[in-house]
Amino acid sequence: MPDHVTLDGAARGVIVAVPEGYRPDRPHSLVVAFHGRTNSNAEVRRYFGLEVPTEEPAIVVYPASLKDARGLNVWSDPGDAPDRLRDFRLFDTVLETMADAYCLDMGRVFVVGHSLGGSFANSLACARGGVIRGLASVGGGSARPKNCGGPVAAMVLHNPRDEQVPVSEALRLRRALLAQDGLPTGSEPDEPHRYNCRRYGAEGEANPVLWCPLADDRTRSGRFYPHQWPQGVGQAIMAFFARLD
């Protein structure tokens, strides 16, 4: 399986997880998962928990970012316009490469991210709204292009006590997603209740928005860290994607 894609003549690392029992005659969903500013793609693969057994098997790809002058992970260059972030094209290349190598259902392409990776996935879900079926973001920011490519189902998870990315960013993102999807502002409780989720859009809505204000303040070791990726979130994200037609 590929360990890199080529963009502008340069190799960009990827980790590709193909489900056990992959069949080349069966279209598979594709999930592209973006890491944050400090953790690598290998590290987030360990804690995202996206590679769970499901009725609908998915191929999961974890791209690696480039680093800035300080050695931190970045998905864009300084001065990039919101609608032309550098690594939008990395996503395009990953999608093209995976479609050449595997049998994909091109109507079931999803993006996931945490922290800076969540911010990038949020932007990408607007810029590539005509391509991406669903988004899941944990602790991400709200900056995104002015005009979106089309509607996208979304699951936004954010702890109101997050000290690294304030919840105001997530509320701004929620408003933008409701506008992108043409949804009303009313909501009702929905699964997964474990994460206090509420659904915008009627039951059976093609592009619902799930708003999940997390209450997981402490890590398993007891450290106060509301910016974390809580236990079980990966499985909840994959269940959300699976319920989308």
Domains, the chain, ordered by start: 4-242 (3.40.50.1820)
- What predicted TM-score, i.e. pTM, was given to this entire model? 0.96
Question: How does pLDDT run across 82-140, given as a tens digit for each residue?
Answer: 999 999 999 999 999 999 999 999 999 999 999 999 999 999 999 999 999 999 999 99
Which whole number is the average pLDDT over 174-197?
97
CA pair distance 93, 77, nearest whole angstrom: 18
CA pair distance 151, 131, nearest whole angstrom: 9
pLDDT above 90 coverage of the chain, percent:
94
Residue 226 is encoded by which pair of tokens?
A: 């509301």
Residue 37 is encoded by which pair of tokens?
A: 């500013």
Length of the chain counted residue by residue: 245
Residue 219 is encoded by which pair of tokens?
A: 């890590």
pLDDT of residue 103: 97
Which residue, 86, 85, 104, is CA-closest to 32? 104
Confidence of residue 19 (pLDDT cuts 50, 70, 90): very high
Q: Is 36 exposed, middle or buried (0-12, 13-18, 19+ CB in 10 A)?
A: buried
Strand-strand pairing, 198-200 and 66-67: unpaired
pLDDT of residue 1: 76
Which whole number is the average pLDDT over 163-190?
97
**What DSSP line would sit under 81-150, residue for residue?**
-TT--TTHHHHHHHHHHHHHHS-EEEEEEEEEEETHHHHHHHHHHHHTTTT--EEEEES------SS-SS
Average pLDDT, the chain: 96
Q: Is it the case that residue 233 has pLDDT exceeding 80?
A: yes
Which whole number is the average pLDDT over 165-193?
97
pLDDT of residue 245: 85
Which whole number is the average pLDDT over 230-237?
96
pLDDT of residue 53: 82
Question: How does pLDDT run across 28-84, given as a tens digit for each residue?
Answer: 999 999 999 999 999 999 999 999 887 778 999 999 999 999 999 999 999 999 999
Which whole number is the average pLDDT over 157-172?
97
CA pair distance 219, 224, nearest whole angstrom: 7
Q: Is it the case that residue 228 has pLDDT exceeding 80?
A: yes
Helix and strand counts by DSSP (H, E) for the chain: 5, 12
